[in-house]
């Protein structure tokens, strides 16, 4: 009996161990797009094999929205399963190969009272002792662990999905040898790394032709892949009123972002690479979205940097200061001190920051955010009429494939 109690306590401790900080919990407005994810599948590709999960968005909408934000930003790519107990649990989503914990978004509201149970194959959010402390880490139950469920008066661990392919694979790798690294116990000796996590969009069809001889023996097998085009209303949205902003013969692509968005920072290098690869056919620009007070300050900062002709030098450092280092850059004085490090006089910064020109650009950004119907960032507007985001596209890589598709579509129209 004592042994069972010790194991249970250790298991519960395992689930909330290792988070780098707790932040103030924010309320989340759930969109129809999130509810539409109910029953959708995610494919996890690891260096050891593939498994799939099916989402329960209707019963755990806030948790699924939070999880998909990490998925669409590519946050999980390169993370490891850092804690494994044979036939009990496998946990990941927070550490890189060097056992360094990645910075996360704010913690989310506990939804463990949704009726879903920590049974074999279920996927749930790991957290600290506080009920509303889950961020990015998740775990998969390799046995029935109902002691982790919600009970009246006691919060549990939120289940939000179920493994529907590859559970045997996960169970088998959980039995491999583990080691202790510093304060971290039960770390797999042989690394289990996530290569990618993506929404399965069923983008291709396989046509298989089998040729047999007179004795019904198979002589040849032909496999042909038929690609299905991205579908309007499913993988991207068409705006009600097209609004191109540039006078150009190229295809206009606008990248909506925010300095306060970790996903935007994570995607920045890939966005830049895509932009440089499409200079001939695309007129590209960035746009700072605005729908709350904090984003307004960041937009003000972005357009001030452009006004002072220092945007290229300061863009990435600003991202890193806000997202990675979590520096307090909320007032004009704090921002002026930051810009001063890059050769900008404090008074010159404040004068520009408070100018009517910058205020006018921020007001315009607020209006465009509404016109473009932006619900999150990063998002893209193509040709002033198509809205693209990683979640609808099926993942970050798929998003860039979709941008290619829409650019080609617009070029075909011009011809």
What fold is seen in the domain 237-414?
Glutaredoxin (3.40.30)
Q: Where in the chain is the domain with CATH 2.40.100.10?
A: 7-199
Q: What are phi and psi of 204, to 5 degrees?
A: -140, 155
User: Could you tell me which residues are beta bridge partners of residue 236?
Assistant: 232
With a cut of 80, say whether residue 22 has pLDDT above it.
Answer: no
Cα–Cα distance measured from residue 245 to residue 298, given in angstroms and rounded to the nearest whole number: 22
Q: Where in the chain is the domain with CATH 3.40.30.10?
A: 237-414
Cα angle, residue 225 at apex, residues 397 and 401 outer, rounded to 5°: 20
The confidence score (pLDDT) of residue 247 equals 84
The confidence score (pLDDT) of residue 326 equals 83
Cα–Cα distance measured from residue 218 to residue 310, given in angstroms and rounded to the nearest whole number: 67
Q: Is the dihedral of CA 153, 157, 162, 166 positive or negative?
A: negative
For the domain made up of 7-199, the CATH class stated in words is mainly beta
Q: Which carries the bigger pLDDT value, residue 380 or residue 261?
A: 380
The confidence score (pLDDT) of residue 42 equals 92
Burial label, 224 (beta-carbon count in 10 A; 0-12, 13-18, 19+): exposed
Q: What is the pLDDT of residues 118-128, one digit of tens each?
A: 999 999 999 99
**DSSP letter for each residue of 193-226:** BEEEEEE----EEEEEEEEE-TT--EEEEEEEEE
Span 372-384, mean pLDDT? 89
Cα–Cα distance measured from residue 174 to residue 190, given in angstroms and rounded to the nearest whole number: 11
Q: What is the pLDDT of residues 66-75, one digit of tens each?
A: 999 999 888 9
The confidence score (pLDDT) of residue 28 equals 45
With a cut of 50, say whether residue 10 has pLDDT above it.
Answer: no
Name which of 28-37, 184-193, 216-225, 359-368 the model is least confident about: 216-225
Span 139-161, mean pLDDT? 94
Quick check: helix, strand or coil at residue 223? strand
Work out the pLDDT band at 215, boundaries 50, 70, 90.
low
Q: Which carries the bigger pLDDT value, residue 67 or residue 35?
A: 67
What average pLDDT does the structure give for the chain? Answer: 85
Longest dimension (CA), the chain: 89
With a cut of 70, say whether residue 229 has pLDDT above it.
Answer: no
Closest CA to 42 of 32, 30, 29, 56: 56
Q: b/e string for 24-47 if b means 16 or more Cβ within 10 A?
A: ebeebeeeebbeebeebbbbbebe
The confidence score (pLDDT) of residue 15 equals 45
Q: Which carries the bigger pLDDT value, residue 229 or residue 226?
A: 229
Q: Which carries the bigger pLDDT value, residue 213 or residue 165?
A: 165
Name which of 126-140, 143-157, 396-410 the model is least confident about: 396-410
The confidence score (pLDDT) of residue 407 equals 94
Does this model's pTM top 0.75? My answer is no
């Amino acid at each position: 009996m004592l042994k069972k109690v010790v194991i249970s306590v250790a298991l519960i401790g395992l689930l909330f161990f290792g988070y780098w900080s707790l932040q103030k919990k924010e309320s989340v407005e759930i969109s129809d797009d999130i509810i539409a994810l109910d029953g959708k599948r995610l494919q996890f590709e690891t260096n050891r094999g593939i498994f799939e999960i099916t989402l329960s968005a209707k019963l755990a909408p806030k948790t699924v929205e939070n999880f998909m934000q990490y998925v669409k930003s590519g946050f999980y790519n390169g993370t490891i399963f850092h804690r494994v107990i044979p036939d009990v649990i496998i946990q990941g989503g927070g550490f890189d190969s060097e056992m360094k914990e990645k910075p996360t978004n704010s913690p989310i509201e506990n939804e463990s009272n949704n009726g879903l149970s920590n049974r074999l194959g279920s996927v749930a959010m790991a957290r600290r002792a506080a009920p509303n402390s889950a961020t990015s880490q998740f775990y998969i139950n390799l046995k029935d662990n109902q002691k982790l469920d919600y009970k009246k008066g006691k919060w549990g661990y939120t289940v939000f999905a179920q493994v529907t392919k590859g559970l045997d694979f996960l169970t088998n790798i959980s039995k491999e040898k583990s080691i202790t690294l510093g304060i971290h116990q039960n770390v797999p000796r042989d690394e289990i790394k996530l290569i990618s996590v993506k929404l399965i969009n069923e983008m291709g069809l396989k046509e298989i032709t089998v040729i047999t001889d007179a004795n019904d023996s198979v002589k040849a097998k032909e496999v042909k892949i038929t690609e299905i085009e991205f579908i309007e209303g499913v993988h991207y949205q068409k705006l009600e009123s097209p609004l191109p902003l540039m006078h150009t013969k190229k295809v206009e692509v606008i990248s909506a972002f925010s300095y306060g968005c970790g996903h935007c920072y994570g995607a920045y290098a890939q966005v830049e690479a895509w932009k440089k690869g499409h200079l001939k056919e695309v007129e590209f620009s960035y746009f700072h979205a605005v729908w709350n007070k904090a984003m307004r300050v960041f937009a003000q900062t972005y357009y001030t940097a452009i006004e002072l002709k220092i945007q290229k030098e300061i863009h990435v450092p600003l991202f890193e200061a806000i997202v990675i280092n979590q520096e307090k850059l909320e007032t004009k004085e704090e921002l002026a001190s930051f810009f001063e490090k890059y050769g900008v006089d404090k008074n010159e910064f404040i004068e520009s920051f408070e100018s009517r020109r910058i205020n006018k650009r921020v007001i315009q950004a607020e209006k465009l955010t509404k016109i473009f119907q932006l619900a999150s960032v990063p998002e893209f507007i193509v040709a002033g009429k198509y809205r693209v985001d990683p979640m609808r596209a099926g993942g970050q890589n798929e998003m860039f494939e979709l941008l290619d598709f829409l650019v080609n579509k617009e070029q075909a129209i011009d011809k």
